Each structure stands twice: as structure tokens, then as C-alpha cells.
């Protein structure tokens, strides 16, 4: 509606309230004209559409704590990948001088940032070699567990009935087997190696992801889009891959970030007690075990790998909480 101009010069200016009241009394329906609806302006999209994942990532990157954690984890991952490539030493190379202190040089003038261990190997190089092995075991083992858990839990939750009961009973049996017992048995059968640790972890580590995916699928399979897909003749595999699994990715991603520190701690614990990475290979757990013997004289040999283990585990745990807040609409503020 557009208001016509009206002469209000004859209104006495007593005060603001009386003038406003007089203006209201002077208006009538004839003072306005209908201009119609602007269809072109009404169809214009003034704001870009934001997808669910794009909005979640925007919330995540605007969180200072989450951004700081990602930077710290990125630095650790970058150093673990790049530093062994550019180092002048290898993991098992023996230098000319032994048990050097922090930031010292050997007889040839080569700098050792963390000194050397009791066998004369460069501790700085072995530290990042160990980080590469620890992160490799964690990422590969958790990735395999994720794939197995998604497939197993998705089939169990979608089919349901006696198939679901049978598959869940098997999950309960597997989850009741102690992980340490599986590792010890595999160490006696298989040659101790990184592959043995990954196999041992994946044999019993996928049950948590399977239960999580099963619960999500059981909630989603009664939704309208799944019923529509079934009505149109879509098969079980297509529904799981195109409809159900994509709708559970937010929960899966959060669970992955929480499972990685658990895998790192498990590997460090096994290596610490001598059931992990075989010599001369190193991981953060084996470095911490070696540092105990020289802790009174060279405490950095124990403290540095322990600090990296703690930072990595804390970073992934807190990042998982931030991802949960970003992906879960109920927890958004």
C-alpha cells in the first residue's frame, strides 16, 4: 500500500502526542492506493543456500578451540610425515657419540636436538619416525574398523528380525574377548610387526562402530524417504549406500575422532610393555619405554614422547567433542 500525500498544516502543534493522534484521525482508506505484489523481487534469493555439512564446517572453523586443536594436530602430523624424509639420520643409524644431552653436537659437529639414546641413535629422528608409525597404526586400524562396522551394523539394523538377533549375539561374543589376549595369541602365531598389531586391533575393535551404526539405521529406516525408496523398488544395498549411510556420517565422523586416540593409546601401551612394534622400529610407546632407563639423567627421552602422546590424544578427544557440537543440531547454540 502507498500512502497519498495529505496537507496537515492546519494541525496545531501542541505537543508530540496530540500531533500524532491528530494525524491518525486524519488518515482514511482513501489515503492509500494498492500497488500490487512485486513478483520478480519476491523470487530473488538474497542468501546462498547452505548445506548441512557446509554449515557444520562453518561452525567448526569459527570455533577458536577447535581451530587451535586442528592446527596442533596438523603440525604433529606434518612433522611425522616430513621430518623423517629430510633428516640426515635414519631410525637405526648409530652416530659417533652416545648419551648426548639436549641440543648437543657429536664429534663431527652434527647437531642433535634431543641428543642420542643409549645406543647412539638420534632421538629427534626416532621421535618423528615413531610418530609416523603410531599414527599409521591408529589411522589404518580405525579405518578398517569403520568400514567393517558400517557394513555389519547397517545390514543388521536394516534387515532386523532374527538376522539382527543373530548378528548382535555374535557382536556380544566378540566384544567379550579381551584385546590383550588376542594380541598375545597373535604374537605367538604371527611374526611381531605393525601388521600384527593392526590385525589384532581390527579383530575386536569394530564392534563399537557396528552397534552405533545399527542404532542409527534402525531409527532412519522408518523415515519417509526410505519407505519411498522401497516403494520405488530400490534394493537393500542401494538404500544403505545412498540413503542410510550418508545420513549417519555425522555420527560416524565424531566416533572416528574419538576412536583414534584410543588406538594410539592401545599401541603405545602394547609397545611400552614389549608387545608392540619390534626393534629396530620405534613408536612413541617404545621410545617412552626406552626413556625410563635414562630418566634420571636424560628426562627428555621420556617426557617428549609422553607429551606428544598426551597432546595427540587430548587433541582428538576435544576435537571429537567440537565435531559433535557442530554436527548435532540439538547441541548447537
Average pLDDT over residues 113-137: 80
Residue 326 within a domain: yes
18 against 185, higher pLDDT: 185
Domain holding 132: CATH number?
1.10.3720.10
173 versus 5: which is more confidently predicted?
173
Instruction: Give 222-246 pLDDT, tens digit per residue.
Output: 777 777 877 877 777 777 777 777 7
Of the chain, the percentage scoring pLDDT greater than 70 comes to 77
Q: Round to whole Å and give the CA distance between 133 and 194.
A: 8
Q: Are strands 104-105 and 32-33 parallel, antiparallel or unpaired?
A: unpaired
What mean pLDDT is predicted for residues 75-88? 85
pLDDT of 1-40, one tens digit each?
A: 444 444 444 444 445 556 555 555 666 667 777 776 766 7
pLDDT of residue 312: 87
Q: What is the 3 state secondary structure string of the chain?
A: CEECCCCCCCCCCCCHHHHHHHHHHHCCHHHEECCCCCHHHHHCCCCCCCCHHHHHHHHHHCCHHHHHHHHHHHHHHHHHHHHHHHCCCCCCCECCCCCCCCCEECCCCCEECCCECCCCEEHHHHHHHHHHHHHHHHHHHHHHHHHHHHHHHHHHHHHCHHHHHHHHHHHHHHHCCCHHHHHHHHHHHCCCCHHHHHHHHHHHHCHHHHHHHHHHHHHHCCCHHHHHHHHCCCCHHHHHHHHHHHHCHHHHHHHHHHHHHHHHHHHHHHHHCCCCCCCCCCCHHHHHHHHHHCCCCCCHHHHHHHHHHHHHHHHHHHHHHHHHHHHCHHHCC
Evaluate whether residue 122 is within a structural domain: yes
Indicate whether 8 belongs to any domain: no
Q: Is the pLDDT of residue 212 over 80?
A: yes
Q: What is the pLDDT of residues 253-294, one digit of tens each?
A: 888 888 888 888 888 877 777 777 777 778 888 888 888 877
Query: Would the pTM count as exceeding 0.95?
Result: no
| Most confident residue range from 22-36, 43-57, 75-89, 223-237 | 75-89
In a domain, 304, yes or no: yes
Per-residue model confidence (pLDDT) at position 97: 57
Q: Is residue 267 part of a domain?
A: yes
Q: What is the pLDDT of residue 6?
A: 46
Tell me what pLDDT residue 199 has. 84
Give pLDDT, residue 164: 83
Instruction: Identify the domain containing residue 142 by its residue range.
Output: 52-331
Residue 6 lies in a domain: no
Domain presence at residue 20: no
Residue 291 belongs to some domain of the structure: yes
Q: How many residues does the chain have?
A: 333
Give residue 102's pLDDT band: very low, low, confident or very high (50, 70, 90).
low
- State the average pLDDT for the chain: 76
Question: What pLDDT does residue 105 have?
Answer: 58
**% of the chain exceeding 90 in pLDDT:** 0
pLDDT at res. 46: 62
pLDDT score, position 42? 66
Amino acid at each position: 500500500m502507498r500512502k497519498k500525500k495529505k496537507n496537515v498544516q492546519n494541525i496545531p502543534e501542541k505537543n508530540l502526542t496530540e500531533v500524532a493522534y491528530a494525524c491518525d484521525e486524519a488518515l482514511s482508506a482513501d489515503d492509500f492506493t494498492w500497488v500490487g505484489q512485486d513478483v520478480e523481487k519476491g523470487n530473488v534469493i538474497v542468501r546462498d543456500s547452505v548445506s548441512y555439512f557446509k554449515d557444520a564446517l562453518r561452525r567448526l572453523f569459527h570455533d577458536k578451540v577447535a581451530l587451535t586443536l586442528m592446527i596442533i594436530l596438523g603440525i604433529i602430523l606434518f612433522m611425522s610425515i616430513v621430518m623423517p624424509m629430510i633428516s640426515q639420520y635414519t631410525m637405526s643409524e648409530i652416530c659417533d657419540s652416545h648419551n648426548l644431552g639436549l641440543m648437543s653436537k657429536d664429534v663431527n659437529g652434527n647437531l642433535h636436538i634431543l641428543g642420542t639414546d643409549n645406543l647412539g641413535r638420534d632421538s629427534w629422528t626416532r621421535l618423528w619416525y615413531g610418530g609416523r608409525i603410531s599414527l599409521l597404526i591408529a589411522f589404518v586400524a580405525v579405518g578398517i574398523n569403520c568400514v567393517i562396522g558400517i557394513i555389519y551394523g547397517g545390514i543388521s539394523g536394516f534387515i532386523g528380525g532374527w538376522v539382527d538377533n543373530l548378528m548382535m549375539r555374535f557382536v556380544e561374543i566378540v566384544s567379550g574377548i579381551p584385546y590383550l589376549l588376542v594380541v598375545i595369541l597373535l604374537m605367538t602365531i604371527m611374526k611381531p610387526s605393525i601388521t600384527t598389531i593392526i590385525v589384532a586391533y581390527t579383530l575386536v575393535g569394530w564392534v563399537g562402530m557396528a552397534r552405533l551404526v545399527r542404532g542409527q539405521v534402525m531409527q532412519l529406516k522408518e523415515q519417509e524417504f526410505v519407505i519411498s525408496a522401497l516403494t520405488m523398488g530400490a534394493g537393500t544395498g542401494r538404500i544403505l549406500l545412498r540413503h542410510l549411510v550418508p545420513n549417519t556420517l555425522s555420527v560416524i565422523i565424531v566416533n572416528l575422532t574419538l576412536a583414534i586416540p584410543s588406538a594410539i593409546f592401545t599401541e603405545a601401551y602394547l609397545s611400552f610393555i614389549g608387545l608392540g612394534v619390534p626393534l629396530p622400529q620405534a613408536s612413541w610407546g617404545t621410545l617412552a619405554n626406552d626413556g625410563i632407563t635414562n630418566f634420571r639423567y636424560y628426562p627428555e627421552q621420556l617426557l617428549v614422547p609422553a607429551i606428544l602422546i598426551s597432546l595427540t590424544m587430548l587433541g582428538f578427544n576435544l576435537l571429537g567433542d567440537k565435531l559433535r557440537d557442530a554436527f548435532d543440531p540439538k547441541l548447537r547454540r
